[in-house]
Amino acid sequence: MAEHIRVHLNGEDRDIPTGLTVRGLLESLELEPRLVVVERNREILSRVRYDDVVVGEGDTLELVHFVGGG
Amino acid sequence: MAKTRKRGGSAEAGRERAAELARRDAAAQRGPESGEVAKGGEAPPMGPTVPGGGVVREDAPVELRLHGKGVVQHPTTRVRRVSERPAPWADPALEMPPPSLRELEEEPLVIAGQAFRSRLIVGSGKYPDPTVMVAALRASGTEMVTVAVRRVDLARREGILNVLDPNEFFLLANTAGCFAAEEAIRYARLARAAGFNEWLKLEVIGDQETLLPDTQATLEAAHALTGEGFKVMAYTNDDLVTAMRLEDAGCVAVMPLASPIGSGLGVVNPYFIREIKRRLSVPVIVDAGVGTASDACITMENGVDGILMNTALAEADDPVAMARAMRYAVRAGRLAYRAGRMPAREIAVPSSPTRGMLN
């Protein structure tokens, strides 16, 4: 198995370690899971699944959060 | 030193009065310079409540500087005790309405069964820095703050929740930046997945330049989202028919604009704002275009239930001061509306009696 996989993360191609769970990915990016919403291949991931779901090759991920706005 | 009053009353009463005044003086000197703050229904403080002010004793002679005479002692002049009238700017807790107005002034804004004590909703965007933003939000007295949904910047990582405490303010996520119904629906679902509440400020823009809403797309998204259980507060224009359709679609509030987002032009179409309020059953909250305090006051005088603003605070030279002004303005406008204004006339009617004039 390759050590890295290519994913599309927040609009950019990125290589990440194989076998990372969503939580693992967030932690590797130094993001707080409870402050981030994850959309994987256009499907919103419930936070309880962050430990179960493994990021796959070619996944399109959107990590979003609340910012200031009117 | 306390002196007994020369004008009358027993010597004993005079001594008691002097002793009481001396006690108050001592308390005033112990207290902080800006005065002690009264909370709730407590009696006003006896110490100084104006910075640099003090207690002027009734029986003490007063020095007056009279034109042409210099400084004179004036023993019989009654000078009002500064401590009896707290400085109005000192603290909002001191701005207690009289009992007759309390219910009126404290009538909450109720949206979808939830009560909010402030009729002012504020946005969290565009402030010069986070500290100023939080100070402004607190100064405004708001209970509901809007936030936007965006990609995490993987380099910076910080979001609004690093600054804003969701326990302190009710977060209202918006779909700002969306130009299509499908897009707004996607953003709404992402916002809900953050896990705070199911409320949404629905915003679907139709024109880049004016940022006016795409009412057709807004209606489409409103139907879809209310069907998914969202509590939708829909940003719209001043068209009565669209407002009615949004209410029919199940929106919990309808939010007609005063003028374009960020324009600061105030209410450009008060007649239609009033019509919308007159015809709808759900709360009507004017959103967008408010520039300064008078705009907010005038908006509320039209009878709407609440007002939403962001740029008016964020782009003021002093956002905290403007937030405070808006707090007063919204309360003043609402109270003036409930007071029932006098009719506007094309003729003059004297305010002083016409009888009793001298020959």
pLDDT mean over B325-353: 95
Distance from CA of A13 to the nearest CA of B (A): 13
Query: Hey, what are B295's tokens?
Result: 């705009």
Comparing C-alpha atoms, which of B249, B323, B269, B271 is closest to residue B292? B323
Class of domain A4-64: alpha beta
B201 in active site: yes
Q: Strands B170-174 and B144-151: what pairing?
A: parallel
A69/B174 touch (CB, cutoff 8 Å), yes or no: yes
Question: Is residue B35 within 8 Å of B49, Cβ to Cβ?
Answer: yes
pLDDT at B10 over 70: no
Q: Which residues from chain A sit within 8 angstroms of residue B189, using beta carbons?
A: 44
In degrees rounded to 5, what are phi and psi of residue B275?
Answer: -65, -45
Query: Hey, what are B320's tokens?
Result: 């905290």
CA atoms lying within 13 Å on the CB side of residue B43: 4
The mean predicted confidence, pLDDT, of chain B is 84
pLDDT in tens, A30-63: 999 999 999 999 999 999 999 999 999 999 999 9
pLDDT in tens, B189-204: 999 999 999 999 999 9
Distance from CA of A44 to the nearest CA of B (A): 7
B70 confidence band (pLDDT: 50, 70, 90): confident
B104 confidence band (pLDDT: 50, 70, 90): confident
Residue B147 is nearest to which of A11, A29, A66, comparing CB atoms?
A66
Residue B255: is it exposed, middle or buried by C-beta count within 10 angstroms (0-12/13-18/19+)?
buried
pLDDT mean over B323-329: 96
pLDDT at A27 over 80: yes
What pLDDT is attached to residue B111? 96
Look-up: residue for tokens 């209970």? B143
Residue B160 is nearest to which of A34, A62, A66, comparing CB atoms?
A66
- Provide the residue type at B299 as one letter: T
Better-predicted residue by pLDDT, B138 or B63: B138
Which residues on chain B place their C-beta less than 8 Å from a C-beta of chain A? 123-127, 133, 146-152, 154, 157, 159-162, 171, 173-174, 176, 189-191, 193-195, 261-262, 288, 308-311
What pLDDT is attached to residue B285? 98
Least confident of B83-87, B203-207, B328-332: B83-87
Q: Strands A37-40 and B70-74: what pairing?
A: unpaired
Look-up: residue for tokens 């009560």? B115
pLDDT in tens, B183-242: 999 999 999 999 999 999 999 999 999 999 999 999 999 999 999 999 999 999 999 999
Question: Is residue B46 within 8 Å of B35, Cβ to Cβ?
Answer: no
What pLDDT is attached to residue B135? 94
- Residues 6+ away with beta carbon under 8 Å from B278: B303
Q: What is the DSSP string of B164-182?
A: --TTTSEEEEE-TT--SHH
pLDDT mean over B287-308: 97
Domains of chain B (ranges; CATH) run: 13-85 (no CATH), 103-339 (3.20.20.70)
Percent of chain B exceeding pLDDT 70 equals: 74
Alpha-carbon gap, residue B254 to A2, rounded angstroms? 54
Look-up: residue for tokens 């939403």? B308
Residue B150 is nearest to which of A29, A35, A64, comparing CB atoms?
A64
